[in-house]
Amino acid sequence: MAYVRRNPLPLQLGSTSRITFAQEFAVSALSASLAHIPHHPLYTLKSQMMFYGTEFSIVNFVKHTKKTKGTFLFQGLIPRTFGIAPEKALKMQAWVMVGRWVDRHVENPTITKWMLAGASAGAATTLIGCPSERAMVLAHIQKKGFMDVVRSTGIRGLYHGFEPTLYRDVTFNMAFFTFREIIVRLYRKHYDSDPDPFQRTVMGIVSGTMASVFACPFDVVKTRIQGGELATTGASTTKQSEWALKLLWNISQREGPRTLLRGLGPRLIAVPSYMSVFYVVNEELEWHLLNKRLTN
């Protein structure tokens, strides 16, 4: 029997959700935290590969993991788990609200709307998520905790690497949300039915894979900066911008263009899977609340 449920899905652009803003925010935050925990070890591997580049050794990585009895893989988990909750909640709100704003002001918007909404979601992600990513990367590379960063650099230091993080997040989210929206709508047009949760998970993985490839070079630059390759104090925003662009060029010249895709393997496993699971769990929880409210 064909899977026929709601049309449109709760979080697709143009839908009218009747649950409150607070409920939407809470659902996204919970979904983000739950989805991140099992993926964190892959982010640890990704950070190591991107930071050390051609000097990274998978043998040494495995030895160190065994030496620490696996705890090394979960360094930085607590600040990142707490940080990713509001980050992804704000991402989803930006995605929906910007899309609806474009609907009201642009006649017959399609891909342009999804790209604008996705880019806005990426910008919102960076604004909230940069500090926890900074803490996570330093925990992976230098074994420093969240408070170590605050004590040595202040709150400002948590936003070190903001510019390459913004490049990465805007690129990834613009591509991810646009590709996923296109695939979901093509499915619905062909089958006259909503894709089920498993199908939407696969669609998200496909979309996330393509988006991860596009964003990987910026992720390498971000990891190099946030991991401590550059100075962490006394840098203005303009100078950090120059460093990010210069580092992108220097890496390609010094280590070869392929280094800009270093860490793509674990990124292709962790990021598409995480985003897909997060999105589907978010949709299902929101639909459950909406359905419960309508039946009461």
Cβ neighbours around 241 below 10 Å, total: 15
Neighbours of 81 (CB within 10 A): 18
Spell out the domains of the chain, with CATH numbers in brackets. Answer: 21-295 (1.50.40.10)
With vertex at residue 134, the alpha carbon angle to CA 251 and CA 179, rounded to the nearest 5 degrees, is: 70
Q: DSSP class of residue 294?
A: H
In this prediction, residue 97 carries a pLDDT of 87
Contact 259, 229 (CB under 8 A): no
The three-state (H, E, C) secondary structure of 194-217, written as one string: CCCHHHHHHHHHHHHHHHHHHHHH
Residues 6+ apart with CB under 8 A from 290: 10, 17, 18, 19
pTM: 0.81
204 in Cβ contact with 180 (< 8 Å): yes
State the pLDDT at residue 238: 32
Question: How distant, in Å, are the alpha carbons of 65, 123, 189, 194 from that of 88?
Answer: 29, 11, 29, 24
DSSP state of 65: H
pLDDT at 157: 78
* Distance of alpha carbon 109 from alpha carbon 207, whole angstroms: 21
Mean pLDDT by 10 residues, the chain (296 residues): 41 53 87 91 89 88 92 87 88 87 78 91 90 82 73 78 92 95 90 88 94 92 74 37 74 87 87 90 85 73
H runs (alpha helix) in the chain: 21-36, 40-52, 58-67, 77-105, 111-141, 146-157, 162-191, 197-226, 237-254, 264-295
Looking at residue 16, its pLDDT comes to 45
